[in-house]
Structure 1
Amino acid sequence: ILDHPQTVAGRRVLDLGAGSGLVGIAAAKAGSREVIAAEIDRNGVAAIGLNAAANGVEIAIVDKDITTGPPPAVELVLAGDVFYGPEVALRVIPFLDRCLAAGIEVLVGDPRRNDLPLSRLRLLAEYKVPDFGDAKGAATRLSGVFSFEEGAR
């Protein structure tokens, strides 16, 4: 996001599965008009608030599972590492499909986890990054930023 601020500049953005708020903070710093962070973990919700304040940005926090309903009124969904398990992927994919149907662009960042729906993704960029939970000093892994595309009809 910081490498390509034009992706979010002036847009309403949803950071889906926001975790600590890193992606939403980057979007806010890159010029998003508004950032909404959706996170169901209470520790994540607390971290988003603290991290946003520490970085001098405003982020609206939604502390419930929004994947069961319609997408919020945004122009871009940023879904970072949300395919970490099959049950989560089964909830997230239909939500992202509803986003696409509503005309919302969807970008996915992922270190190529097992449940990543590669057939629905178009690679936009790759970065070497440490994976969450890896030991300090562990080798970085190649992670991708993808455009989530419509499935076969």
Structure 2
Amino acid sequence: MTSRPSESQNLRDLALLRRVRDRMDREYAQPLDVEALARGVNMSAGHLSRRFRAAYGESPYGYLMTRRIERAMALLRRGDLSVTDVCFAVGCSSLGTFSTRFTELVGMPPSTYRRRAVSGTAGLPACVAKQVTRPVRNREARAAEPPLA
């Protein structure tokens, strides 16, 4: 028989998970990994990963990369930085991994996004441009698509 965490333990874990998520939101450009995040809230990396996925529906790494890609999209819309500069500015250390993840989340490579976004969001306030260009995960896009006839 396995023991289930008490309600008070669940609430403590949720508060710690919120701290981890807030840290990723603030420090997305820093070199963060699951072990460092877990140490910061006195959890094991495995426990943090399991609880984070249960609470937010994705792994800590997936959440962090989504934040980085969202910020990269904003920098690319400005049009004054190269894709490589944006990659490093958002905390990614590999241009290949950045480009692959960007393409998975946004549906096009960063260079294509940059070309389209600079002309497509001209004149829009930054807060509106951010909302209309927010990345849609592949699983969300599939769920929103109408079935094929």
Superposed pair shares fold, TM > 0.5? no
Higher Cα Rg, which structure: 2
TM-score by length of 2: 0.26
More strand by share: 1
TM-score by length of 1: 0.26
More helix by share: 2
